[in-house]
Every structure is written in structure tokens, then in C-alpha cells.
Amino acid sequence: MAAKWRPLIDKITGEFTKSLLVSAWFMFLTFPLMVIKVRPLERTIEWRWMNLVYIGVGAFFLSFIWRYLMSRKDGGGSEEEGESWQKKAGLRIRTDKKIYLPGLAAVVAFIVIFPFIFSGYQTQIMISALMYVMLGLGLNIVVGLAGLLDLGYVAFYAVGAYCYALLNHHFGVPFWIALPLCGALAALFGILLGFPVLRLRGDYLAIVTLGFGEIIRLILENWNEFSFGPSGIAGISRPDFFGMELSLREHTIYLYFIIVMLVLFTILVVSRLRNSRIGRAWIALREDEVACQAMGIDKTKTKLTAFALGATWAGLVGCIFAAKTTFINPASFTFMESAIILSIVVLGGMGSIVGVMIGAFILILLPEYLRAFSEYRMLAFGAAMVLIMVFRPQGIISGIRQRYEFHRAGQPEGTR
């Protein structure tokens, strides 16, 4: 009997010892930060030993959980199985009207009444989240569909914002006229970026796009005569509603419905593009560039179209950002913004529209609602991203490739 349970006991003892070592190592590493607190004014040192206990116990149990999840991942199903449950769930939701129609009605009703039942602060947060949904869907064209790693996406965001700010400041151009101009100008900058990088891929493409984003930011920061430098541009007009005077609360609600309509328009356009001829060309370019070119696809046109269309959405969101804040400066368009947008695409699932939307809501709303834990919210935020990337590298909802089946007349659908 003892011999029967001996392997299990040895395994548990080994896991227990490993977790103890991990706990001791974490306690040693975090000792100066979590235990010692120097008070320079009183010239005293406070020893917070309970923090060390919390670190040790937490690291011990987290080590156990991590090892358990890793063992399940190594012995679990494949990525195709992960995609199958998404496909089955999606088909069930779309085909079962008892689930689909009431769920759709509930979502629409919640979107409509949201700004009226929540405070202006909550509405502003939701506007920011929806803006990042648009940015994520725009970058999803470049990175998720075409497979072109763009680390300078924030440059197009800045182009749209400064386009509206300068036109409004110098010429009094209203929001609705400037909005398409911002998108067109950002698309032009996307084409200008696309030409020099046509022969680049992978890390080289990422470095060039990163440099492009920094060039735009430095120009805006140092060309005082054009962009007003670090001081930025203030007093940007908010969107007008047939010339009516609106209060700040009414402007917020109005901007909320504008961004909701633009997000719906973005979802429609991106979904149609993904299933179109150019969308299939992007996916072919992402999978194998040499084979894509051998099949007769114009690689130059395909890449430039991806850069231009992806940049268009960034320009539109930049215009909305300038109208929302009524003030912009180069500090709002740093590399960190590009990193956040890219994280939204990767976390949600490259090529997946629903996944990008979920990723945007998680990465934008979660830090806002964890402000009560201001000291630890970024630690929890980073740990959550690490866990998802380790155990779900394809993203929260991976892009499912559309498949077409052809059946003969009178042939049952189960056969091909």
C-alpha cells in the first residue's frame, strides 16, 4: 500500500520544496522594498515584517498554481481545440434566436442608456475605451491581418490630432469638416511610411516604424512655429450640434454617441475588408510573403493599402481625441501609446475583431477601476498580461479563419 502511494507522495514533496524555494527567493528579492521604509524627516527606519510574510505566503501558493497550470498546458489540448469551442459558441449564439436576439437587444439598450445612468466621469472613461477600440481595430489591419509589425502607430494618431487642432486654431475649421481631412492626411502619412519599408520585414520593419513614430513626436515637440512645441495647443473646439450651445455634460454625451457610431462603422468596414479580396491578400501576405507574391498578388499595393487604411482610423481617433480634451501636446503621443495599442491587438487576438474589442476594454478600463489599489494596480496588470501570454498566446479570442464548403445539389451538408 505504501509503495502504491509513494510516487504521489514524492511528487507532492518535490512540488512543496520547489514552492518553498521560490517563496524564499521572492522574500529575499523584495526585502529592501517591502520591509524597509526610511523616514528621512524623522531619521527613522520602519520595519514592516508583515509584508514579508504576505510576500512569502503569496509566492508559495502562486508557485503551486503556476506549476499546476503549466502541467495542464503541457498535457492539454491544442490550439485547434481552443478554436473549436469558439466556433461552436459563435455558431450557437448566431443560430439560436432565443440567445442572439435578446442578447443583442440588451447590448443595444445598455449602450443607449449608458451616459444617462452613469456619471460624466464614467462616460469619459467609456469614450476613452471606445477610442482605443478604434485604434486597436486600425492596428489590427496592419499587424493582425497583414502581419506588418508597426511600433510607430501613434504617429498617425498624432497627425490626426494636430491636423484638427491646427485647422481649428488658425482657420476655425469645425469638427465635422476636419474629421475626414484628418483621416485622409493620416492615410497619406501611412503611404509615405509604407514606401521606404516595402522590402523590410520582422524586426527591421519594427525598428523603422518605431523611428518614424519618434521622428513625428520630436518634430511636434521642437518645431515651435508650427506645432507650438511642448506648450501644445489649447482651446480646441468641441463638436457642434447644429450650432446649438451645449453644456459640458451634454458635450460628453454627444461625443459618446459620436464615438459609438464610429466604432460601429469601424467594425462594419474592418469585417468587410477582412472577408474581401484585399483582406485575403493581407492574410496571404502575413502567412508567407514569397508564396503570396508567387500567386500573383501585388505585394507593394497590398502593403501600402494596409498601412493607409490602418492609419486612417488612427487619424480619425486623433481628431476625436483633440475634440475631447480640447488640448493636445506631444507628451500625449509617446511610444507607450503605441505599446498599449499593440498590446490590445496581441492580448485580444490578432485578426479577431471581438478579441481586439475585449482587449481594449480590459487594458483601458481595468487600470481605471483599480485606482483604489494604486500602489499595486500596475503589478496586477502586468501579472495578468504575463499569465495570458503564457497560457493563451493566441490571445483571448483567436481569429478563426473563414471556411467555405461546396455541396452538390441534393447532397446532405455533412458530406463533401
Q: Are residues 53 and 166 in the same domain?
A: no
Q: How many domains does the chain have?
A: 2
Q: Are residues 155 and 217 in contact, defined by beta-carbon separation less than 8 angstroms?
A: yes
Q: What is the pLDDT of residues 325-347, one digit of tens each?
A: 999 999 889 888 888 898 888 88
Q: Does residue 111 share a domain with residue 63? A: no
C-alpha cell at 306: 494596409
Give a yes or no: residue 93 inside a domain. Answer: no
Residues 207, 309 share a domain: yes
Question: Residues 200-256: pLDDT tens digits?
Answer: 777 888 898 899 999 999 999 998 888 888 888 998 999 888 777 788 888 899 999
- Asked if residue 122 and residue 56 are part of one domain, the reply reads no
The answer as to whether 363 is a domain residue is: yes
364 and 231 part of one domain: yes
**Average pLDDT value over all residues in the chain:** 82
Regarding whether 111 and 64 lie in a shared domain, the answer is no
Distance CA 25, CA 367 (A): 28
pLDDT digits over 279-336, tens only? 888 888 888 888 888 888 888 888 899 999 999 999 999 999 999 999 999 988 988 8
pLDDT band for position 415 (cuts 50, 70, 90): very low
Same domain, 46 and 172: no
User: Do the domain assignments include residue 170?
Assistant: yes
Residues 31 and 111 in one domain: no
Q: Is residue 78 part of a domain?
A: no
> Helices marked H in 76-174 — which ranges?
79-95, 97-117, 120-139, 154-171
27 shares a domain with 116:
no
Quick one: cell of 385? 498580461
Q: Within this chain, do residues 240 and 386 fall inside the same structural domain, yes or no?
A: yes
Q: Are 44 and 76 in contact (CB under 8 A)?
A: no
CB 303 within 8 A of CB 149: no
Residue-range definition of the domain harbouring residue 18? 11-70
Asked if 302 and 156 sit in the same domain, the reply is yes
Q: What is the pLDDT of residues 155-211, one digit of tens each?
A: 999 999 999 999 999 998 999 999 999 999 999 999 988 888 878 777 888 898 899
Q: Does 411 reside within a domain?
A: no
For residue 99, being part of any structural domain is answered with: no
CA distances from 391 to 250, 258, 344 (A): 44, 37, 17
91, part of any domain: no
* Cβ within 8 Å of residue 331, ≥6 positions away: 230, 232
Q: What angle do CA 367, 370, 371 make, to 5 degrees?
A: 95
Helix (H, G, I), strand (E, B) or coil at 44: strand
Return the CATH number at 290. Answer: 1.10.3470
Residue 92 lies in a domain: no
Q: Other C-beta atoms within 10 Å of 394: how many?
A: 16
Same domain? 268 vs 386: yes
